Structure 1
Amino acid sequence: MQFKYYICLPNPLQICFALCLIFPPNHMFNTDDLARMWIALGFIQPSHIQGETIKNIGGRYFDIVVKKIFF
């Protein structure tokens, strides 16, 4: 069931979620730490939206992944 949601994610979100698979089951993710990892690895690109930071995008990506029931 979750695979269906994964393939519907945009490519940048698929890449971000794939990184999470290196952690053990039941790992407690910290939104800011995970977003920083995604940024450091170049998974999140700057936005063209005025005033939106890369950190905001990372938080938004995390929220989307959580809403899709991956965590």
Structure 2
Amino acid sequence: MTKATDFRTKTADELSDELLSLKKEQFNLRFQKATGQLENTARVRQIRRDVARVKTIQAQKAASAAKAK
């Protein structure tokens, strides 16, 4: 699980890349669960929350950039 402060230091492009990698991992975990190969079930929850963190920080950065204009 990554902390929000780690995400806040990243640029918009880095956040997009991070979101893409989290979505890929989430996809892979869903397949593992469906085939019965998933060992660490808590990882699904961690990934889901990390995705939410990244999206929240992206929205905050977009709002602050729009306000600055």
Q: What TM-score range do you get, normalising by the shorter chain?
A: 0.3 to 0.5
* Higher-RCO chain (CA-CA 8 Å, sequence separation at least 6): 2
Quick check: which has more Rg, 1 or 2? 2
